[in-house]
Each structure stands twice: as C-alpha cells, then as structure tokens.
Amino acid sequence: MATYTWSANVLIPGQGLHDARGAHRATGTATEAELKAAVARDVAKRHRCTASEVLVIDFTYSELPA
C-alpha cells in the first residue's frame, strides 16, 4: 500500500478557487491522473458536488516512504 500527500488549487462550482491539501492511500503505485481523480472525489464529497465538476490545478504530490 502506498500513501501520498498532495496539495492543489481546486475550482469548485459556485464556490470559487480553494487551496486544498490531503493524503491518499492506494493499493499500489498511483499515477498522477489517478491521484487527481481521488482529489476531485474527496473535494466533491466535502463540497456536495460531483467530481466531474471539480477542476484540480497546480497539483503537486509526494509518496511517503513505507
């Protein structure tokens, strides 16, 4: 299992641009696209919108050592 920390600016419909940070666990190595999708799902859940409405920009991440 891999753990990633991430930070990004996210554009949320009707709410504007927000600074977001978090962590994500993946069963194996995750691609940047997979991590961005996880970020969009997480943000959407917290802001009551759909992941496809969330735009993830200025995205950075790092994998934590096991």
Instruction: Output the tens digit of pLDDT for each of the chain's 66 residues.
Output: 899 999 999 999 999 999 999 999 999 899 999 999 999 999 999 999 999 999 999 999 999 987
Q: Tell me how far apart the alpha carbons of residues 66 and 50 are, in angstroms, rounded to a whole number.
A: 32
Structure tokens that stand for 35 in this block: 């991590």
pLDDT the model gives residue 38: 94
Domain extent listing, the chain? 2-63
Give one DSSP letter per residue of 5-55, joined into a string: EEEEEEEETTTEEEEEEEEEEESSPPPHHHHHHHHHHHHHHHHTS-GGGPE
CATH 3.10.20.10 fits 2-63, yes or no: yes
pLDDT on residue 10: 97
Alpha carbons 50 and 24: distance in angstroms, whole number? 19
